[in-house]
Structure 1
Amino acid sequence: MAAAAAEQAASGSTTGGPHVLVVPYPAQGHMQPLLHLASLLAARGLRLTVVATPATVYLLAPLLAAHPSSVRPLTFPSAADHDTSGPTSVGADFHAHAAALRAPLGEWLRSRARSDSGDGEGTGRVVAVISDFFCAWTQPLAAEVGVPRLVFAPSGVLATAATHSLFRRMPRAPEGDAGRGYAVSFPALPGAPAFPWRQISRMYRSYVEGGAGGSSDEHAEAIKDNFLWNLESAAFVCNTCHPLEGKYLDAQPLEDLAGKRVWAVGPVAPPPDSTGEHDPGTASDVTAWLDAFPDSSVAYVSFGTMMVPPPAHAAALASALERSGTPFVWASATTKLPDRFEERAAAAGTGLVLRGWAPQVAALRHRAVGCFVTHCGWNSVMESAAAGVPMLAWPMAADQFFNARLAVEEARVAVAASWGGFGGVPDAEDLARALSEVVGEAGAGVRARAKELAVMLEEAVGEGGSTRRELDGLVQELRELGSGR
């Protein structure tokens, strides 16, 4: 018995909880929240197999270290393998990723979906699949072997429902002058929100503008099929919470998500003292730099890992920061900044430009940061909300306009920098005025609301909170699947 237990421990396997297959989409902004959710599930006794490729398996290291006996990687070489540390696209990469993994994963899943299956490592049969909403090709695989598939949405429920509504209803802007000012309404959502056509995801607009009846391009068709497959799933699991999106969560079942249950389990990111920031030296340097500034006086600027603002947009923001005299930390990655802007800021001691990785969570939690200039990617919105920092919202593409509308008009924890996206460069003076609405004394009101929201998020993930109840309910559902009920 002791020898068997030792052998099992050495193999990194465990017995007991139900076995769930987790399939992330290989882009960092999608992978990280799903891996955070996986950690929460493993901590509650579930056994997980997490799919990776050679280029993404390193991202699993913290999860594997924290749960060595209940989580294991399943690595497939992929024709779509690419570096996930920077921008990635949804299109050719999307289609190639699905094409490369569908066959080998299907074979693996068929071998582990039988009630008497075993792989010699104690994992047992798979009772459910949880996969990213860009991995809906797993839906027919799961259906084939008779196990439920749950959709993980790294976006909020508003953006998730609206995006699926587009591919379900297929609205289209009229041609010519009739299309000017056209807005897409979402009548099945609370408040029937409407968004100008230019604010609708380029992924969708490119599909319907590809020709009469839609594009015949196989990549575009794969994207449409993806969202329709999601609507066949057993449920949606969203990285959101009732304090932020209760308006939509309380309206369940949502027609735009085919009436499927939405589990609101966010924020899934661990608390700041356990984020595993992988460059503590950089975090310490940024913290030390921020220590010199008064409370709520500094703007933290980041457009995420996938969004690079065009040079004209970056120049407008740089000019606004200089005109307003707002101290800043700019996580610029590959952004092209105006000539000598960085040198001027460094010489004056009012600006710090970071290339490469930036300690965003640590920066947002610093007392000196009073504003987050953000593209409103959902991970950034959640991190800002949890930190109690108001946003200067500058959406560019994808789900960002939905997220920005939520932050500005509903939660009222943000001020709009621009609604023009890539197509419109705001005036630097207008940006400077927007900065002054958030940073310093003028931003006291929006900052107070942001801090109130942060308290509500903390309560949601705490004992008895709404997020904790949702997570426990999800785990119970997976346990019942494992018990065969």
Structure 2
Amino acid sequence: MEFSGENNGAHVLLFPYPTSGHIIPLLDLANHLINHGLKLTILVTPLNLPLIEPIQAIHPSNSIQTLILSVPETPPRSNFAKKVRATSKLHDPIIDWFRTHPSPPVAIISDFFLGWTLQLARQLGVRRFAFWPSGAFTCLVMSYTWSNVEEIFSKTDENALVTFCNIPNTPEYPRRQVCTLSSQYRKGDSDWEFFREGLLDNDKSWGALFNTSREIEGLYIDQVKKEMGNDRVWAVGPLLNVVGPGYSQRGGLSAMPHGKVMTWLDGKVDDSVVYVCFGSRSTLTRQQIDALATALERSGVNFVWCLRGGHMMDGNEEDAITKEYENQVANRGLIIKGWAPQVAILKHQAVGVFLTHCGWNSVLEGISSNVLMLTWPMDADQFTSAEFLFNELKVGIKACEGGSQVVPDSIKLTQILCDSISGARPQKERMRKLHDGVLKAVQDGGSSSRDFHAFVKQLSQLQSVVF
């Protein structure tokens, strides 16, 4: 999206959920907002300050400020609902900050996990916009699931089909593939009731932003508008397309020098490399790593394997890959133990295939890079995102369906890897068309660009009011 010259000086507070997978896309949004003349304050925890540094380095200090607050620690092994509820302890510090600020924000853009900020915004007399780093399809799945969570999980059969009546084409999924967070819900538990209420409050927010485009999810964006009861729903992605200088550091410093990774890829022919990554939080068992390592070795394909989770469920990932194995695949395999410059890798012409856990950030990066995606979902909303790639967009190929504990058949996985690189696949042609459409969407006059400009115009018209 091109710089528009808008400079109304509107001040907005951005409040991400404090994990990298949620912070990074909100920072991508921040980059666009600053380029359109807005002034931002980003609420960040001390631990996540390094993620903010690359965007601070490329913008004037009066365009982006930080509000540094610490989320209270939760006891070891606390469930996710308790961790989300802990963020609400920032309510009073945020109120104090607003009331002492000489020019407080006119709006709060907060992550969808932070639905409690709707009441905060109303108390402050400003608008709250829900930001979805996930897609509209996932939003609809979560809305239906959490509205009917007791009924869905009243049956003990994890293979029982759940029919999503609120989604176009009425998809059905086994209960075990529905957002795994919802299976942990306990009626009457104060943390889970808080979490559920916050998710359902997203539909009551004044507006919603999605890191997606109409070319990917137009049908589902329209459905979200129906559920929210207004047109203040904007598809403004993929936001990563305009990342500016220093994008190789997006999300953190690479564990391997960026130049070394690019030089290695430069030595490979176009579309000959498989990139393997399961995100920053997914964990593999030793058996899963062994099966994947065997398949990569036997397939003969070139590959970059990012082990950036840093740990396994039952040991250390770095120890699971031996020097002997690295030596065996040295000419055609690059193993990065830690954070990798994923966007830069995927956009390199040598990379043609992406073996992914189907987190939405990775899905968008794959589409934006025009690579064939092999799906291996682990948990959360990754199963429905994988099915969306396979059934709706028809640009994905299933590599493993079982989730975090299932070990793939290495022989079958070997064949899938071989087939993904060699020969024409209909998924590749569909991906090319989807990629071209998404590329146009973020260019000036495209659907995402138009939505972004409409959203900025909406922000420029806001003033603090008392609800």
TM-score past 0.5 threshold:
yes
1:417-474 deviation digits (Å, cap 9, x = unpaired):
122112432211221222233223244x322322222221111011100000000011
Partner of 1:3: none
Is residue 2:448 matched to residue 1:467? yes
- Bigger mean CA offset, 246-255 vs 235-244: 246-255
Distance in 1, matches of 2:223 and 2:114, equals: 26
Letter in 1 for 2:70: P
Provide structure 2 residue ranges, at least 5 long, that are not aligned to the other structure. 1-6
Q: Distance in 2 between matches of 1:180 and 1:308?
A: 22
Q: How far has the Cα of 1:272 moved from its partner?
A: 6.2
Q: 1:265 to 1:272 in 2, by over 3 A?
A: closer
Contact 1:331–1:353 at 8 Å: present in 2 too? yes
> 1:209-261, CA deviations, whole angstroms, 9 ceiling, x for partnerless residues?
x3xxx2x4333223212212222211111100011112212445243x56663
Taking the aligned partners of 2:165 and 2:374, their CA distance within structure 1 comes to 28
Deviation track 1:76-116 (CA, whole Å, cap 9, x = no partner) reads 2332499xxxxx973443222222x122112223x16xxxx
Match of 1:64 among 39, 45, 56: 56
Matched, 1:263 2:234: yes
* 3-state DSSP of counterpart to 2:152: coil
Counterparts of residues 128-147 of structure 1 (less than 5 Å): 128-147=107-126
The residue number in structure 2 matching 1:296 is 271
- Quick one: distance in 1 between partners of 2:321 and 2:16? 40
Contact 1:320 1:429 in 2 (8 A): yes
Partner of 1:379 in structure 2? 361
- Which of 350, 360, 373 aligns to 1:391? It is 373
Task: Measure how far apart 1:341 and its partner are.
Answer: 5.2
Aligned counterpart, 2:257: 282
Of the two, which has the highest radius of gyration?
A: 1
Cα contact 2:359–2:385 (8 A) shared by 1: yes
Flag the 1:169–1:224 CA change in 2: closer, same or farther, 3 A: same
How far apart are the structure 1 equivalents of 2:51 and 2:159? 43
Q: Indicate which of 269, 274, 283 corresponds to 1:308.
A: 283
Matched, 1:52 2:31: no
Correspondence for 1:343 among 324, 344, 350 = 324
AA in 2 matched with 1:437 = D
Which residue of the partner structure matches residue 6 of structure 1?
Answer: none
Q: Contact (CA 8 Å) 1:269, 1:275: kept in 2 or not?
A: no
For residues 333-370 of structure 1, the C-alpha deviation after alignment (integer angstroms, 9 at most, x for no partner) is 22537856553343342211101121111111122212
Q: Does 1:172 align with 2:147?
A: no
CA contact (8 A) 1:272 1:361 kept: no
Q: Which residue of 1 aligns with 2:88?
A: 98
The Cα of 1:156 is off from its aligned counterpart by: 0.5
Contact 2:108 2:126 (C-alpha < 8 Å) held by counterparts: yes
SS of equivalent residue, structure 1 residue 126: coil
User: Which residue number corresponds to residue 39 of structure 1?
Assistant: 31
Change (3 A) 1:476 1:16: closer
| Greater relative contact order, per chain length (Cα 8 Å cut-off, separation 6+) | 2
Q: Provide the C-alpha distance between the structure 2 equivalents of 1:172 and 1:410, rounded to a whole number of angstroms.
A: 23
Contact 2:34 2:63 in 1 (8 A): yes
The CA distance in 2 between the partners of 1:380 and 1:24, in whole Å, is 18
Match of 1:331 among 306, 311, 318: 306
CA distance in structure 1 between the aligned counterparts of 2:300 and 2:407, rounded to whole angstroms: 21
Match 1:223 to one of 174, 195, 204: 195
- The C-alpha deviation readout for 1:273-311, integer Å capped at 9, x for no partner, is 635323477221112112222221211000011111222
Greater Cα offset, 461-470 or 49-58: 49-58
Deviations 1:27-53 (A, max 9, x none): 011001111111211211222221112
Q: Structure 2 CA distance, aligned partners of 1:58 and 1:169?
A: 39
Q: Following the alignment from structure 2 to structure 1, what is the Cα–Cα distance between the partners of residues 439 and 464?
A: 33
1:315 and 1:338 in contact (8 A); partners too = no
- 1: CA distance between counterparts of 2:322 and 2:64? 47
Q: TM-score, normalised by structure 1?
A: 0.85
Residue 22, structure 1, aligned to residue 14, structure 2: yes
Q: Does 1:253 align with 2:225?
A: yes
- Change in CA separation of 1:180 and 1:26 when aligned onto 2, cut-off 3 Å: closer
Rounded to whole Å, the distance in 2 between the matches of 1:148 and 1:247 is 26
Decide whether aligned partners of structure 1 residues 307 and 254 sit closer, same or farther in structure 2, where only a CA change above 3 A counts.
Answer: farther
Which one-letter code corresponds to 1:107 in the other structure?
Answer: D
1:74 aligns with 2:55: no
- Whole-angstrom CA distance in 2 between matches of 1:168 and 1:258: 17
Partner of 2:4: none
Measure, in 2, the Cα distance between the counterparts of 1:365 and 1:301: 14
CA contact (8 A) 2:106 2:464 kept: no
Matched position secondary structure for 2:449: helix
SS in 1 for 2:304: strand
Q: 2:281 aligns to what SS in structure 1? A: coil
For residues 221 and 377 of structure 2, the distance between their equivalents in structure 1, rounded to whole angstroms, comes to: 23
Q: Count how many residue pairs are aligned between Structure 1 and Structure 2.
A: 445
Q: How far apart, CA to CA, are the structure 2 residues paired with 1:463 and 1:340?
A: 46
Which residue identity is paired with 1:261? R
Task: Report which stretch shifted further, 66-75 or 153-162.
Answer: 66-75
Q: Which residue of 1 aligns with 2:415?
A: 433
> 1: CA distance between counterparts of 2:388 and 2:243?
24
- SS in structure 1 of the partner of residue 240 of structure 2: coil
Say if 1:317 and 1:428, in contact at 8 Å, map to a contact too.
Answer: yes
1:181 paired residue among 145, 152, 159: 159
CA distance 1:340–1:386, change in 2 (3 Å): closer
Pair 1:343–1:89, CA change in 2 (3 A)? farther
Residue 3 of structure 2 aligns with which residue? none
Question: Does the C-alpha gap of structure 1 residues 384 and 250 become closer, same or farther in structure 2, counting only changes over 3 Å?
Answer: same
Establish whether residue 354 from structure 1 lines up as the match of residue 306 from structure 2: no
